[in-house]
Amino acid sequence: MIRFVLLSCLVFLGACATHTANTPSTSTAPPPPVVADSSQFEADIAAFEQADALVRRMPGSVVFVGSSSIRLWDSLHDDFPGVALINRGFGGSRVRDSTYYADRIVAPYQPRAVVFYAGDNDLFEGRTPLQVRDDFVSFVERVREAQPGLPIAFIAIKPSPSRAALLPKVREANARVRAYAKDHDVAYLDVYLPMLDAQGQPREELFVEDGLHLNASGYAIWTGVVRPWLSGL
């Protein structure tokens, strides 16, 4: 009798284990974030090339390249009178996107200098400060492969109110780029510090309502930092 009871218990426990193994888990891990590749900006780059077909390219110009902070710099030509400029900023782009398209938005112009801004979108998407620095290194190497010794300036990643939580990473990324720039004949243009208030927080009056993009006052600070470098070329 005891042997029969024990055997019945073993059968019951085995059935429970089988049922548990076949029951799908309700706590599945979320899928990893999808990181869009650079090809998503093909339409923007094609539009630049179409404009090039209508307007003769200007060798010896200064190319401003990077994310939406460059694209939306509508006063660029007025801010640097007498300087031949080409704006090749495209919204939402990351550092590596400018590298991906460098042969189409930098090299064809044979510029006398490049002013670069990107990085905050990268950090917002989860890139580390070290990766941002390494991505910028790749950009420098790519454009200087076509034009050895090309003067390049990196505008520091700005402190945006809407992304204030990222400030520690912004500071680290800027510091890493600055250290690299010092040893590789790249200009580091510090707009980060002038855009902070006395408490070390982003100055909201320098931004439009989204707390991410600059208004005229914000671009005035950028102009004041970039102009001396351009004048010294």
Q: CA–CA separation, 136 vs 185, rounded Å?
A: 13
Domain of residue 113: give its range.
41-231
Q: Which residues share a beta bridge with 117?
A: 66
**Does residue 8 lie within any of the structural domains?**
no
Q: Which two tokens stand for residue 221?
A: 């600070």
pLDDT of residue 51: 76
CA–CA dist 161, 212 (Å, integer): 7
The answer to whether position 166 is within a domain reads: yes
What CATH number has the domain bearing residue 200?
3.40.50.1110
How many domains does the chain fold into?
1
Q: Has residue 223 been placed in a domain?
A: yes
| pTM score of the predicted model | 0.79
Q: Quick check: is 199 in a domain? A: yes
In-domain check, residue 72:
yes
Could you give the 3-state DSSP secondary structure of residue 44?
A: helix
Rounded-to-integer distance, Cα 233 and Cα 226, Å: 11
Question: Does 21 reside within a domain?
Answer: no
Cβ neighbourhood burial of 104 (10 Å; 0-12, 13-18, 19+): middle
| Structural domain contains residue 34 | no
Inside any domain, residue 12: no
Q: What is the pLDDT along the chain (233 residues), one digit of tens a residue?
A: 444 444 444 444 444 444 443 444 433 444 444 445 877 778 777 777 777 765 556 678 999 999 999 999 999 999 999 999 999 999 899 999 999 999 999 999 999 999 999 999 999 999 999 999 999 999 999 999 999 999 999 999 999 999 999 999 999 999 999 999 999 999 999 999 999 999 999 999 999 999 999 999 999 999 999 999 999 99
Q: What is the pLDDT of residue 55?
A: 54
